[in-house]
A and B are shown apart, each in its own frame.
Chain A
Amino acid sequence: MSAFIDRITGSQVGGATERSIRLSLSFIRLGPVIILLLLVLAMTLLSPVFLTGANISNVVVQTSVLAVLAIGQLFVILVAGIDLSVGSVLGLSTVTGAIVYTATSGAGGLLALLVILLTGVVFGFINGFLYVKGKMPHPFIPTLASLYAARGLALVISDGRPIPGMSPIVVFLGSGYIGPIPMPVVVVAVLAALAIIVTRRLKWGRWVYAVGGDKEAARRTGIPVDRVLISVFVISGLMAGFAGVLTAGRTDAGFPTAGELSELTAIAAVIIGGASFFGGRGTVINVIVGALIIGVIQNGLNLLNVNVYYQLVATGVIVVVAVELDVLRRRLEQRFRTLQAREA
């Protein structure tokens, strides 16, 4: 970000129009952070309870499942894809975890955790494999199929009922504390840090952005496009598994209906976080900010005793704003190109 601001003030900038376009572009990049700050400011002014330690901790814990799903979703959206299955996979993973824990009680603490994560990985791989090797026209299709199939499986193997009892490790991760810090926050922080490393510092992460920028160009430069595509779905599935860990840990049970519609909230968080649906653009930090925006809206409107249904309306409005900002970005870039050509 600072490099970008340096460039705005840099000497190579031509006319005033160019400067203002660059300024607008950097403003758009900061958009999610600005929206979050404005929301926090508004809620603080409207409710004396909002900016208290207990409430902030509340917001962050409530947002943790969404944040984890959104991190996974970001990888898929970076390659211009979409993963509709994560909510159902989350639900199924809590059920498989609960069943394994019940069946192997005592010895199965760690095993349950691994099974929850593995459920996510398996479905992620199936999604990616069907999309790439099954030559499906868009990731929408295989992940829609998984949305139904995973939910159905969860209901079948649980007989449609919650399965009580969950491994202590999972319960600790979902509702424990390290000192004053809730474990879900630690989990989100660790996963976010890993995701930041992958997207910013690893070759594989660079390839995700390249594939999202232009698949054909990526193929020609020798990037293994198919493997990159499959890998992002595996990452998204793994994140659905972690979201399942947090959910099962908080509820101390496997819920076949857990995570319903959460795939859409996760997509909303990524889009609100400024990632481009056209692919190739988006950062982990902004996606976390996007999840927090949704969390603050929900929490704030609850505190203000606003009808719950207005939360949905507010989220919808912010999604539109975020996507229009992305459209505006593309138009500004087009203007900028034209100016550059005239100057050259």
Chain B
Amino acid sequence: METEQAQMPRDENGDPILEIRDLTKRFGATLALNNVSLTLGRNEVLALLGDNGAGKSTLIKCLSGVHEPDEGQIFVDGDEVHITSPMQARSLGVETVYQDLALFDNLDVVGNFYAGREPTTPGWLGNWGWVKDKDMIREADELMSRLEINLPGADVETGLMSGGQRQAVASARAMAFGRKIVILDEPTSALGARESRNVLRLIQDAPGHGVSVIVISHNLEHIMQVADRAVVLRQGNVVGEAEPNQENHERLVSMIVGGADEPEVDEPSEAPDEDSTNDG
């Protein structure tokens, strides 16, 4: 009884789904990450902001098993983990969508969803078993309607799709198989305004499907639409965090560009350039 009661709040919103403590990563003499600590709450959409070279990419690569941190600890679901390979990250429920999307243009949506993990029968034949096409198509259709992503069809090759549709396929694949944490690297940077909107809605809805999201973006407008919280990195350090909304807009910008040690300092002259290009 007691243990069950103790676990209930933990599953709801007790332990963060991901916690990073004092992560440090060096490349030779360069300090890419300096004692970075942050948490990702359960069903939270966390934005990672920062200028080029701030350490965002290094951080997500440490989480997705591309880099191994030199120091520090990573906890997934309250358990300490050592992520040494992309495969291991995936098995821990951490799925990353990079900007190149890693889609197979010659395969249809179903093929892309299941590439490398096609269900087969009978099991003892392993990789020489028969692919369960009907199951795959049914599950892919279910997934597409559950995530409400609008694609030409599950049997259309991703090579025939637009940038936004391709991003949706890659993100949906991550959310379906990530289960816990999905990391999105600049999901809207290559997209037009309308296409961005579809992808942003997908991110917004992720917590409703039990998926926590870390999203990297240069577009503060988009971050303000989807993220619950924004953490700002600069030169490998966490320099602050804030709820991304219009009130905090200038504060976030000044943290990103690092005009002063005091994050609250207003730098209005910098702000308008940041998002003036966005008409979404």
Contact = CB atoms under 8 A, between A and B. Distances in A.
Chain A bound to chain B: yes
A221 B130 contact: no
Nearest to B66: A220
Nearest to B177: A221
A145 B128 CA distance: 31
B116 A204 contact: no
A324 interface: no
Contact of A340 (B106, B152, B153): B152
B240 interface: no
Given A7-B155, A210-B107, A341-B195, A336 B160 contact: yes
Nearest to A224: B127
Interface stretch (B139-147, B161-169, B215-223, B267-275): B161-169
Contacts of B259: none
Contact of A214 (B105, B129, B152, B161): B105
A344 interface: yes
Contacts of B127: 202-204, 207
A107 interface: no
A203 B131 contact: yes
Nearest to B157: A333
B183 to A, nearest CB: 13
Nearest to B161: A340
Interface string A269-305: 0000000000111000000000000000000000000
Contacts of A52: none
B169 to A, nearest CB: 12
A180 interface: no
Contact of B131 (A202, A220, A279, A343): A202
Contacts of A307: none
B104 A210 contact: yes
Interface residues of B, number: 36
B161 A221 contact: no
A204 B127 CA distance: 6
Contact of B161 (A12, A203, A281, A337): A337
Contacts of B152: 7, 12, 340
Contact of B116 (A212, A216, A223, A342): A223
A344 B164 contact: yes
A221 B156 CA distance: 20
Nearest to A337: B162
Given A203-B128, A214-B103, A216-B102, A222 B116 contact: yes
B244 interface: no
Contacts of A161: none
A125 B131 CA distance: 26
Nearest to B119: A203
Contacts of A206: 111, 115, 118, 131
A220 B118 CA distance: 15
Contacts of B130: 201-202
Contacts of B103: 214, 217
A221 B153 contact: no
B134 interface: no
B255 to A, nearest CB: 32
Interface in A168-223: 201-204, 206-207, 209-210, 212-214, 216-218, 220-223
Interface in B156-199: 156, 159-165, 192, 194-195, 198
Contact of B160 (A213, A221, A222, A337): A337
A10 interface: yes
A341 B162 contact: yes
Contacts of A344: 150, 162, 164-165, 192, 194-195, 198
A238 B163 CA distance: 41
A308 interface: no
B107 A213 contact: yes
Contacts of A216: 102
B102 A333 contact: no
B116 A202 contact: no
A210 B115 contact: yes
B37 interface: no
B56 interface: no
Given A210-B116, A221-B116, A223-B115, A202 B102 contact: no
Contact of B115 (A7, A218, A337): A218
A181 B171 CA distance: 53
Contacts of A317: none
B34 interface: no
Contacts of B115: 206-207, 210, 217-218, 221, 223
A193 to B, nearest CB: 15
Interface string A215-249: 01110111100000000000000000000000000
Interface in A88-112: none
Interface in A321-344: 333, 336-338, 340-344
A313 interface: no
Given A203-B120, A209-B104, A217-B104, 7 more contacts: A7-B152, A206-B115, A216-B102, A222-B90, A280-B106, A337-B160, A344-B192
A-B pairs, top 3 by smallest CB distance, nearest first, are: A221-B116, A341-B162, A280-B106
Interface of A: 3, 7, 10, 12, 201-204, 206-207, 209-210, 212-214, 216-218, 220-223, 279-281, 333, 336-338, 340-344
7 contacts: A204-B128, A210-B111, A223-B116, A337-B159, A337-B160, A344-B164, A344-B194
